Structures are given as structure tokens and as C-alpha cells.
Structure 1
Amino acid sequence: MNDDFYNRGIEKAKQKDYAGAIEEFSHALQLTPYSAEAYLQRGLAYYDSGAIHQAVSDYTQALNFYPDSVEANYYRGLARVVLKNLPGALEDVDRAIRLNPHYAAAHNLRGIVRRKQGYIQDAIASFKKAAELYLAQKDKENCRLCLEKIKQLQPPEKPVQQQTSTSAPIITTNAYFTQLLEKAEKGDTREAIADLNWVLQADSQDAQAYCCRGVVRCKMGNYQEAIADFNQALQLNFQDAVVYRNRGKARSLLGDNQGAIADFNQALQIQPEDALVYVARGNAYRAAGDYLGAIADYTQALQINPDDAQAYYNRGIAYTFLEEMPQAVADYQRAASIYCEQEDWDNYHQVLNNLKKIQTSHPESKQQKYNLLRQRLLRLVGGYWEIAQRLIEQKREYYPGMTDEWYLQKAIEDLERDRGR
């Protein structure tokens, strides 16, 4: 091996010039093509630069020349975790441990792999061994992190007695994240965030943890941070409807209604019978002024779930914007009935208050006429009040000094004439 190229590669890697390091190691390998160490170091540079597949290839070449390399086995296992090849990662890390039973990092990585596979008891055993080795090496910080992992993975209750197989998972990864979300639902959002931060500290490539943390951050009102977590989950190929649905909600709450609608569309492609997504997209349409689109989505949600009080309530709101009060009253009444049956008194009283406002309003005949004209114009422009407003303002510019009712009537007449009605 050419030491000059190799040493320059090591130095550039230390400076985080990974492209330069890869080039130097490649020159070294052209001169000495059987150097396991050069392949290992180039693999590390590839890994640090994000080229995970190339890293695995170089680690494999290193192992072809030197199968007993503890480091090559360990680092290929680490890269395979990123690529979600958990069986391959477990095989590599087990081999590294056989070659060096005192390699604390390998026991720690094995714990991560077994946790991701759902074998929590086995993961705890690996983290415990890693903690013991770190303690013996006087590495207090890594020892503390391993002990925290053990604490978090301990089941809340003792396993039932009939569950005798130690190879079966006590709690799956999905169930673990479900417990964290339930904790957040009960108001323990800070504790849930702390748990998820720990998970991501242990494994920064855990896409499901990013998704879960995003959901909790949404509950806390930290919408920008939540979106960042959902983006990270998607970059790690966690293509799940829950990511798009919750990112859409966060975007909508930040005022990005069109972006929210795009996310809800993606969620519905993955899960087309999700009533929650239709309600959420309906809310975004309504916020954007597309009341007819909102009503269509709420109606679709009710076809999937006829007892969805929220869909009735939101559709009622959309109908009020279109001045279609009989339909709004009917939807409010249905929503109130469902909330009453569910003993959801907060929402029940909120719907009743809105219902009372509609039923006790007695507009004068002039206002009634204006509302009817407004509703008629809205229908002509597809429910988009922003378009209707622009048309009215155009009429004001051409015909100043007329009444509001006159401008509405003029806009309607011109639209109907242009459409040949």
C-alpha cells in the first residue's frame, strides 16, 4: 500500500473532506488493490459522506481480504442498519462480538438491532453487556446512555407467566411507540418527547421515531419542528399515511393550505378509506375558501363513517359560509346528537351555541336578498369567495357609487351572460 496516499486520506477524513479522502484511498488501492485497511477507511469515508451502499461494498471487500476484521464487521453492520437490512446487520455484529467479546460498541449496536426487530428482552441484555463494558473502560457517558436505554425498554408490567419463550418479543416496536403516543394523549408530552429523543440518540436513522415525535410536537403546538420531523421520516423512506396526514395538519395550522391539501392527497393515495384525512382535507379546503370542495370531502368522510360528529359539524360550518342555513342547521343538530350520545359535553355545547346563533337570527328582508345574491354568485364561481370579491371590485371600478346589492347583481348578470344562460 502506498503510505503517502493512505496517510493523506486519513488526514482528509479527519478534516471531514470525505470526497478528498475517498480520492486518496482510491489512489492507494490502485497501487495496492489487496489492502483491507484501505478498503475499510474508504468505506468509512463513504459512510460519513452518506454513500451507504458504496460503504457496504468497501467493507465487504475488506472482509474478503481479512474476514476476522472486527471493525469491518462492526461498520458493515452499522451501515446495514441504515439500509434496514436488520438480519444482515445482526449477522455482522454477532461476528464482531465473537471476534472481540469486549467490544462495547458492538454490544450496543446489537441492542439497537434487536430493539428494531422487536425482541426487547434480547435488546436489554445487549445494552446491559455494553454498559458493563463501558463502565470497565471508565466511559461513564456511554455507560449512562446504555442504562437509560435499558430503563426505557423495560416493560411496564411483568410478562404473563404463560409467555415462556425468551425469543418472542415482549413488546413490539409499534407497541412501544403506541405507548408513547398514549402518554402524550394523557398530557405527558414532555416525557414522551424525552423518550423519543432518547430513541433517536440511540439510533438517528429511526424513521418511525421521527414520525412519532412529529405527532407529539403537533400536540404541543410546535408545528415547524413537527414538520421537520415528518420531513426526516420521509427522507428515511417511512412512506406512511400517518406522516402525510399529520404533516398536512401542521401545514394547515401554519396557513399553508395548498401544501396541506397536497399532503392529504398523498395520504389518501396510500389509505383511500381514511375518514380522518377527508375531514382534514375538507378543513384545508374551507380555510382556502373552497366551500364546495370542503363539503364534498366532509360528505365522503360521512360515507365512510356515518357517525363522525366532527364531519357533520365542519360541514355545517361550510354550509353557513354558503348561506345554506337549512343544511347547516341539519348538520349541527346531527353533530350535537352524536356528541350527546358520546357524552362529549365540551363539543356538544359548542355545537349548540353555533346552532342557537343560526336559529335566533332574523335578518331583515334587504339582508336576506343580499345573502341570496351572495350565495348565487358563490355558486357561479365554484364556492371561491376570493374570486367573487375580485369580480365585485371590478364592477366598483367601472361603476362607482352603486350599492353593494347592485354590484352583486351586476356580477351575476355578466357571468350568466358570458356563459350563455
Structure 2
Amino acid sequence: MAMLWSRISAALPLNEEQFPLQFNDKVESSVLEMLKRSRHQLYSDTTSASRMLNAQIVLDFSWEKLNTGTWRHVDKEWRRVYSYGCLFKVAALCREEPSADEVLQALKTCDMGLLMGAAIMDNILQVIVQILQSEVRESTKEEDESEHAQVKRIKIECPHVPVIKEELAVPRIKCPSLESFNTNYLLPLKPVILEGIIDHWPALNEHPWSIEYLRSVAGCRTVPVEVGTRYTDEEWSQTLLTVNGFIDRYILNKVKINQDGAAVGYLAQHQLFDQIPELKEDIRLPDYCCLGDGDEDDITVNAWFGPGGTVSPLHQDPQQNFLAQVMGSKYIRLYSPEDTDKLYPHQSQLLHNTSQVEVENPDTERFPEFAKAPYLECVLQPGEVLFIPVQHWHYIRSLELSFSVSFWWS
């Protein structure tokens, strides 16, 4: 750990004068003074406790701003202030010879800045994350044999795969041309499984995704986790865990789903690939996204990682969706937006895009028209991509440990 601070300081500006601190008038002068004090301490001799105190004041004040009102109304300047607070806290933790726990705390602090803050100084927090991660990896090279045994048991679990009737099956096509996909599926908004279009992904080849691989590239990273069998459940909630903590709790020693609907954990978020570039490098945007109206930056890439039994209730999205399966398999059912009335959407504005019906165990008395709604279904296997047209209702259940990547585009 002795060389850690020299590596971090090498990534920082050479001196205080070159360290940028420009904000608009939304940021109070008292906060700006505290930021300047923290900057000065970064390049001068002072106690670690003093550095930590000032950094924490910046973090606490900006955190209040981030949690006042709705997220979309939070001024970006306060997100930048929060990121600076994270940077100063990391410096306080790592300036002297940090313990292993302090390095992990610094890594979590960077992740909080990446999740809740805004990029500062050419995304300096991402640079420092790479330095801290290499330090953590060096100190955790020894692997636990018992964990490998647990992982092996998970791998050989055989999921119960539903039988798909031919007349209900989502059609399949192998590597259609752009023109063929556009004419036969995109323009008429017809679901289809595309085969062979992600065979070149490193996630399926050079770096096949597995529990071991996810631990190696992201194990110590802090990420948002959804807790609950489905987001419509009353007990559903969100929390922050390291990827290792998520795997240990919800994968290797996962909470079983029982008749009472005991909670499972699900890692589902759109920031994962920006937060962890190693995973982003393992995937590619499907070529067919070029048929959309927006730019590449307008495409939202989501990660979905969790144990078997996790359910996404029947819902619809406002964009086209390519759902790519990387690990495990999923049962998926699709309904046309033309049959929305038979699907009984929630009346509340918050859940208006979600059906009240439990698809695989519907209450026929409450929802008598549901059985009349035609549908298509499939089991999506690794290497396959499902095109879910805009506004098409879809229900998804993981049949086993699963990692999917979805691309939302217009």
C-alpha cells in the first residue's frame, strides 16, 4: 500500500493552481470556500483527520442537495460538488499508508461519486478506481476453494425449461440483413429472435462471463441492487452492495423464493457499463440499432444479473428493445399493445405501464379478459437476442442464474 498515494497523486494536477474549481452561482460561497480549503489541504501538510472532516462536510452538504426533490430536478453543479467531495475523501483515506479496509472504503467512495455525482476533471474518479482496483486485486489473488465448489454446483443446476408450442413460438432468424430486419420486423413491429448476431462478443468468447469473471473485474465495486421478487411487490426495495457481496448473498447463498414470495436480489441498472468499463468492452451495440433515429449516445444499455426465479412483471417500454442473453436462460412472453385492455394495466401513473396480472398464475375472476389475449413466448438462450418492439408488453422470468444486456433505442 505504500506506493498507492504516489500513483494516485500522479493522476492529479501538479499543483493547487492547476486544480480546477469552477462552479456557477447555484453553489453557495460557503461551500466553495470549503472546496478550496480541501483543495489546499490536498497539496499541503495537514492531518488526515482534518482532510477527512472537510471532505465529509462537502459530502454531507451536497448529499442533502441531491436528495431534495426529484432526481431530474437536481442541478448538475451539486452533482459535481458531490464528486469533488468524493475525490477529497479518497485523498484523505489514501494519503498515508492506508489499510486494506481503507482502500475498499476509498473504492466505495469513488463508486458513489460515479453513481450519484457528475464527471469532473476528465473523469478523475474513474482513473482512481482503476488504481484502487489493481491494488485490491494484488491483495486478493488467493482464491477460496470452497467458493469454486459452490460455483460448480450452481453451474450444473438444470432449470425446468417450459415447453414452447410451435404456434406460440416467437419466430427466429439467423443474421438477417439490415434491410430484411427493417422490412419484416422493425417497421411492422413484430418480435423476433435474432441468432448469430452477438457471436463475436468477447463476453461469449475471450472473456466468457461467469461468476468468477465478474468477481475478477468488478467484485469490489459498489453497485445498486434491487431486492424483491418483482418491482410491484410491497417489500421491493433498493440497496447498495459490492458485486462480491451481491454474489455471496443472493447467488451462492441466495434467498430462496417460496410461496410467501421471499426476496431475491437482482442487479439491474443502466450505469453498470459506464461504471465498469471492463464489462462494457466485452459487449457491442447490435448493428440494427443504426436503423433508429437517434445517435449512438442516445442508446441506453442496461445490465440484468440475478438468480433463477427473478421476475419482471408484464410491462411495456417506450422504446425499441434488443434483449441479449449472455449467461443462463429466460422464459419470456409477449403481448401486442393492441390487446392492452385485456392486460389490466395499473391505474396509478407510476405503474401505468405495468399489468396487474400475475402472468403464470392469473386471477381469472379479477381479470377475466386476460385469457383471451393472444401472445407469443420463447426461452432465450445464451447468444440469442430478442427484438421487443416498442410498447409491446413483455413478461420475463429467469430460469437460472442469468445475465442479460438490453439496448433501448428509438
TM-score (norm: length of structure 1): 0.29
Between structures 1 and 2, the one with greater strand share: 2
Between structures 1 and 2, the one with greater helix share: 1
TM-score (norm: length of structure 2): 0.29
Q: Which structure has the larger Rg?
A: 1
